[in-house]
Amino acid sequence: MTGDSPSIADVLLPLALEGPYSYRIPAGLRLEPGDYVEVPLGPRSRIGVVWALKNEAPQGPKLRDVTGRFDMPAMPEAHRKFIDWLAAYYLEPPGNVLRMVLRAPGAFEGPRKQIAYRASGSVPKRMTPQRQRILEIAAEGPALRVAELAELTGASVAVVKGLIKDGALEAVELPALKPFPEPNLNGGGYRLSRDQEEAARALRALIASRTHKVTLLDGVTGSGKTEVYFEAMAAALAAGGQVLLLLPEIALTSTFIARVEARFAAEPAQWHSDLKPRERERVWRGVAAGEARIVVGARSALFLPWKKLGLIVVDEEHESAYKQEDGVAYHARDMAVLYGSIARFPVILSSATPSLETLVNVDRGRYGLVKLSDRHGRAELPEIGLIDMKAAKLEAGTWLSEPLAAAVAATLASGDQALLFLNRRGYAPLTLCRACGHRLNCPNCAASLVEHRFRRQLLCHHCGHVEAVPKQCPACGAEEKLVPVGPGIERLAEEAAARFPDARVAILSSDLSRGTLLRDAIRDVEKGEYNLVIGTQLVAKGHHFPHLTLAGVVDADLALESSDPRGGERTWALMAQVAGRAGRGEKPGRALIQTYLPEHPLMQALKKGDRDSYLGQEKLIRENAGLPPYGRLAAIIVSGGDANETERFARAIGRTAPRAEGVAVLGPAPAPIHLVRGRHRWRFLVKAGREVKIQNFLRQWLKEVKPKGSLHLAIDVDPYSFL
Ligand code: ADP
Ligand code: ZN
């Protein structure tokens, strides 16, 4: 033993383990906390991170040796703390959080020469479906490495190697990773207006303070918030830090990236779910080395191994897309604030419709506020009109009232773009048999199947189940009796095509979402290639459509009907954001909202543009009900393959709930969607006062609970979904 250098490393592995595992450090290997290492685990070898060093081995079986250290910058202490805190906050094993950090396997293959493969064009003697798939992918895009080809196709490495041997794949040497250009801080910004300059000055002062402080940048859509926070980014870059600009995945368009590039005369790094493996590796390494100075990314960019983060900007901070629902159920905005408080840097939250949580933090003096009150230049905030649907007398199967249809026609005639917003994918949310009343439901979920007419399919929006639209009713066998009920955007598009036969219609929804399709469609709308846009909430997300002057909301009451405690706030944000798409260019815009509840305080406030009085009422309602941000919530979702067993398990857990001051446990109750993917679901809602450490309560309650067999228990701290 070498006396003073530690002999044992506690290594965190990207697995759902209680904590780090101890390994012996072999002679000659020097390790620091944060180093990336390779260690044996069972028969395999794993990549982990040194969490702590010590001299004393724990009791128990003989420790195995650390196999080696990766030659890359160690994970900084702040990042390790961030992982531990986030894990504790959401009651997750820290290894599950680390797994989100290590999502660039290529980064660990080292800078040595790398060989990738592409299809050579020669056909192998033996063809199998797996081989076929590999060759298709290899022919499609850039050359890929063996491991990537295997991962993308689900084939084994041996199958890929077989194709290399047969000559069907040919080797190419990968170029070195492209370096990151240094941003030019005096790049191509606009000349700011007086208001904007004042806001920028306040944000620059925030950066100069070099402390952790959260500031809300609050301004109507089109007021120039982006231009203003660019100034804060420039200041943080000048101070030597890295900058993360977080956006909802769908707002990460090529147009937006081009804007960042224009401002800083350098292409920023991007991080989102459809990045190619090679680019993933490049960004990951660039961030770890501190060479990628600006990253524009979706929520998971938080987990990149930041060397020296100096500022996070969370654009569209109110967006529920920041909440991840699968796996580790974290909220990226809240975790950006947490990261800032750990690593002591400022955080800017930007929105035209800030969340109530953030506004209350401003009220309490915990967050600063910088306001932009006017739209830039001539662009005015659209005038909002209400259309009373009780008076509209629509023909069956139609959804556009006369006033809205007339406004669309006039807009198209004048050469501008119009938007019709309906927050429902597909053709019709429900299909039923006119002969027997049977509804077409998903076989795996307690939900109706949604017809997607373009694809000629019925689709379950919860589990992805797909089936062909049947000719006969599956219950009574009657032919030609199945009818669609209610509208989805495809059905709305059909009505629009009939009414406006010359319109160039774009349909935007997450059905296009496999990344590029949707991004392309949005770009074409921005360029004005379509003049009638029909879309779901995706169109509300920060896009800048300069030719759009009319926004029509087809059914404003949809979101109000939900049981979500944030339903009102969300409807407000959605309506204001949709309306805000109109009139962002030279011409003024207007918005028309179809509603059966024109007297509702929310609709009235929208019409008057009176956000403060509406949100004032919402605050009161939440405060009286003890709901966030005046109280804390956590959901527990129990699920299992067998209905009775799941119910028994849920009830048994319910009986062991501890009593605690200021905490109420509601449930168990069957979840609103009580069956998903063939799994039965029960829910608890835990409500606690703001002063209560809800995590401690949950830990105490659930530490002995060990679900067996198909049973599963998931904890959702600060839930946003109540289904
Ligand atoms: P927000 O982020 O508040 O929605 P943006 O920053 O996107 O607003 O600005 C809206 C539009 O106005 C953009 O096209 C932007 O380029 C333009 N704009 C904003 N500020 C200025 C300025 N000072 N000079 C010229 N154009 C500006
Ligand atoms: Zn389903």
CA dihedral of 73, 78, 81, 83, whole degrees rounded to 10: -60
Is residue 519 pLDDT above 80, yes or no? no
Question: Does residue 679 register a pLDDT over 70?
Answer: yes
CA 315 – CA 422 distance, rounded (Å): 24
CA distance 574 to 384: 13
The pLDDT of 513-528, averaged and rounded, is 77
Contact 713, 635 (CB under 8 A): no
pLDDT at residue 583 is higher than 90: no
The CA distance from 609 to 384, in Å, is 8
pLDDT tens per residue across span 184-195: 998 777 899 999
Tell me how far the alpha carbon of residue 463 lies from the centroid of ligand 2, in angstroms.
4
> From the CA of 372, which ligand is nearest?
1
Find how far residue 455's CA is from the centre of its chain: 26
How many angstroms does the Cα of residue 544 sit away from the middle of ligand 1?
Answer: 9
Say if residues 181 and 291 touch (Cβ distance below 8 Å). Answer: no
**3-class DSSP string for 472-491:** ECCCCCCECCEEEECCCHHH
Nearest listed ligand to the Cα of residue 200 = 1
Q: Tell me the DSSP string of 256-280.
A: HHHHHHHHHTSPPEEE-TT--HHHH
pLDDT for 542: 65
Mean pLDDT over all residues of the chain? 91
Tens digit of each residue's pLDDT (9 = 90 or more) over 317-345:
999 999 999 899 999 999 999 999 999 99
Q: Answer whether 312's CB lies under 8 Å from 339's CB.
A: yes
Cα 140 to Cα 63, 121, 135, 149, 191, distances in angstroms: 47, 12, 9, 12, 44
**What is the torsion angle, in degrees rounded to the nearest 10, for the CA atoms of residue 195, residue 197, residue 199 and residue 204?**
-170
Q: pLDDT tens digits, residue range 245-294? A: 999 988 888 889 999 999 999 999 999 988 888 899 999 999 999 999 99
Mutate which of 195, 227, 229, 527 for ligand 1? The one with the most ligand atoms within 8 Å of its CB, which is 227
As a whole number, mean pLDDT of residues 354-373 equals: 95
Between the CA of residue 703 and those of 288, 653, 664, 695, 717, what are the distances in Å? 36, 11, 18, 11, 16
Q: What is the pLDDT of residues 9-30, one digit of tens each?
A: 999 999 999 899 999 999 999 9
Taking residues 123-149, report their average pLDDT.
86
The per-residue pLDDT for 367 is: 98
What mean pLDDT is predicted for residues 349-369? 96
Strands (E), 556-612: 590-595
Task: Please give the angle made by the CA atoms of 369, 372 and 374, to the nearest 5 degrees.
Answer: 155
Question: Of ligand 1's atoms, which has the minimum distance to the CA of residue 191?
Answer: 23
Burial profile 455-494: b = 16 or more Cβ within 10 angstroms, e = fewer:
eebbbbbbbebeeebeeebeeeeeeeebebebbbbbbbbb
Cα 533 to ligand 1 centroid, rounded to whole Å: 22
Q: What is the pLDDT of residues 437-486, one digit of tens each?
A: 999 999 999 999 999 988 889 999 988 899 999 999 999 999 999 999 99
Ligand nearest to the backbone CA of 378? 1
Tell me which residue has its CA closest to atom 4 in ligand 1: 222
Which of 426, 425, 463 has the alpha carbon at shortest distance from 445? 463
Q: pLDDT by residue (tens digit) across 472-517? A: 999 999 999 999 999 999 999 999 999 999 999 999 887 765 556 7
Angle separating helix axes 332-343 and 77-89, nearest 10 degrees: 140
Q: What integer pLDDT is reported at residue 1 of this predicted model?
A: 43
- Nearest CA to 533 among 416, 642, 694, 361? 416
Percent of the chain, pLDDT > 70?
Answer: 97
Atom of ligand 1 nearest to the CA of 219: 3
**For residue 255, which ligand has an atom nearest its CA?**
1
SS3 sequence of 615-648: HHHHHHHHHHHCCCCCEEEEEEEEEECCHHHHHH
- Residues 135/140/145/149 CA torsion (nearest 10 deg): -50
Q: Which atom of ligand 1 is nearest to the CA of 193?
A: 23
* Owner of token pair 């194709």: 163
Q: Which atom of ligand 1 is least distant from the CA of 379?
A: 12
Nearest protein Cα to ligand 1, atom 11: 222
How far, in Å, is the centroid of ligand 2 from the Cα of 446?
7
Q: Which of 296, 376, 577 to mutate to test the pocket of ligand 1 (most atoms within 8 A of CB)?
A: 376
C-beta of residue 492 within 8 angstroms of C-beta of residue 534 = yes
> pLDDT digit string (tens) for 388-413?
999 998 998 999 999 999 999 999 99
Could you say which DSSP state residue 420 is in? E
pLDDT at 380: 58
What residue ranges line ligand 1, CB within 6 angstroms?
Answer: 190-193, 196, 219, 221-227, 376, 544
Rounded Cα distance between 264 and 252, Å, is 17
User: Cα-flanking dihedrals φ and ψ of residue 373, to 5°?
Assistant: -95, -25
What was the pLDDT predicted at 255?
86
Give residue-wise pLDDT tens across range 196-233: 999 999 999 999 998 899 999 999 877 899 999 999 99
Ligand 1 centroid, distance to 231 Cα (angstroms): 13
Atom of ligand 1 nearest to the CA of 580: 4
Run of H or E including 86: helix 77-89
Cα–Cα distance, 482 to 115 (Å, whole number): 56
Beta pairing class for 383-388 and 242-246: unpaired
69 pLDDT higher than 90: yes
Which stretch of DSSP H or E encloses residue 100? helix 94-101
In terms of pLDDT, which residue wins out, 114 or 410? 410
pLDDT-wise least confident of 329-338, 587-596, 679-688: 587-596
What pLDDT, on the 0 to 100 scale, is given for residue 2?
44
Confidence bin at 662 (pLDDT 50/70/90): very high
Rg (CA), the chain: 27
Q: How confident is the model at residue 110 (pLDDT cuts 50, 70, 90)?
A: low
User: From the CA of 189, how far away is ligand 1's center (Å)?
Assistant: 10
The residue whose C-alpha atom lies closest to atom 15 belonging to ligand 1 is 224
In this structure, the strands spanning 532-535 and 466-468 are unpaired
Distance 440 CA to ligand 2 centre (A): 11
Averaged pLDDT for residues 235-247: 97
Q: Which ligand is nearest to the CA of 673?
A: 2
Pair 699, 657: CB distance under 8 Å: no
Task: Provide, rounded to the nearest whole percent, the portion of the chain with pLDDT above 90.
Answer: 70
Report how far ligand 1's centroid is from the alpha carbon of 221 (Å). 9
Pairing of strands 36-41, 68-69: antiparallel
Give distance in angstroms: CA of 227 to centre of ligand 1: 6
